[in-house]
A and B are shown apart, each in its own frame.
Chain A
Amino acid sequence: MMATRPDPAGLYHPAMPATWWLRKRSYFLFMLRELSSVFIAGFLVVLLLQIAQISSGEDARAAFSAMLRSPGWILFHGVALAFAVYHSVTWFYTTSIVMPLRVRGRELPRWLFTALNIGAWAGVSLVILILYLALPASA
Chain B
Amino acid sequence: MSERTITLDVTRYRPHQEAVPTVQSYAIPFPDDWVVLDALNHIKDQVDGSLSYRWSCRMGVCGSCGMMVNGEPKLSCAVFLRDYFPRAIRVEPLSNFPVIRDLVIDMSGFLDKLKSVKPWIIREQEKPLSEGEYLQSPRELDAYQHFSQCINCMLCYAACPVFGLDSGFVGPAAIALGYRYNLDSRDHGTAERREVLGDHEGIWQCTFVGECSVVCPKHVDPAAAIQRVKVDTAKDWILSLVMPWGQR
Contacts and interface: CB of A to CB of B under 8 A. Distances in A.
Interface of A: 3-7, 9-14, 16, 20-21, 23-24, 26-27, 30, 34, 94, 97-100, 105
Given A3-B111, A23-B71, A26-B214, A10 B16 contact: yes
Given A98-B231, A105-B142, A3 B96 contact: no
Contact of A16 (B98, B164, B221, B231): B164
Contact of A24 (B98, B112, B211): B211
Contact of A11 (B106, B211, B227): B106
A82 B124 CA distance: 52
Nearest to A95: B227
B139 A105 contact: yes
Nearest to B97: A14
B20 A12 contact: yes
B108 interface: yes
Contacts of B64: none
B164 A27 contact: no
Contacts of A21: 161
- Please classify the interface of chain B as helix (H, G, I), strand (E, B), loop, or mixed, using the class held by over half of its residues: mixed
Given A24-B211, A99-B231, A16 B106 contact: no
A97 B227 contact: yes
B99 interface: yes
Interface of B: 13, 15-16, 20-21, 71, 95-101, 106, 108, 111-112, 139, 142, 161, 164-165, 207-211, 214, 221, 223-224, 227-228, 230-231
Contact of B164 (A3, A10, A20): A20
A30 B209 contact: yes
B232 to A, nearest CB: 11
B161 A3 contact: no
A11 B15 contact: yes
Given A12-B13, A12-B99, A16-B96, A26 B231 contact: no
Nearest to A30: B209
A13 B98 contact: yes
Given A6-B106, A10-B16, A10-B100, 16 more contacts: A3-B111, A6-B100, A12-B99, A14-B98, A14-B99, A16-B164, A16-B165, A20-B161, A26-B209, A30-B207, A30-B209, A94-B208, A97-B210, A98-B228, A100-B224, A105-B139
Contact of A26 (B71, B165, B210): B210
Nearest to B112: A3
B224 A10 contact: no
B98 A12 contact: yes
Contacts of A3: 108, 111-112
B209 A27 contact: yes
Contacts of A12: 13, 15, 20-21, 98-99
Nearest to B221: A97
Contacts of A7: 15
Contacts of A94: 208, 210, 227
B77 to A, nearest CB: 23
A4 B111 CA distance: 11
Given A12-B15, A12-B21, A14-B95, A5 B165 contact: no
A5 B107 CA distance: 9
Contacts of B223: 97
A105 B140 CA distance: 10
Given A26-B209, A98-B227, A11 B98 contact: yes
B149 to A, nearest CB: 16
Nearest to B165: A16
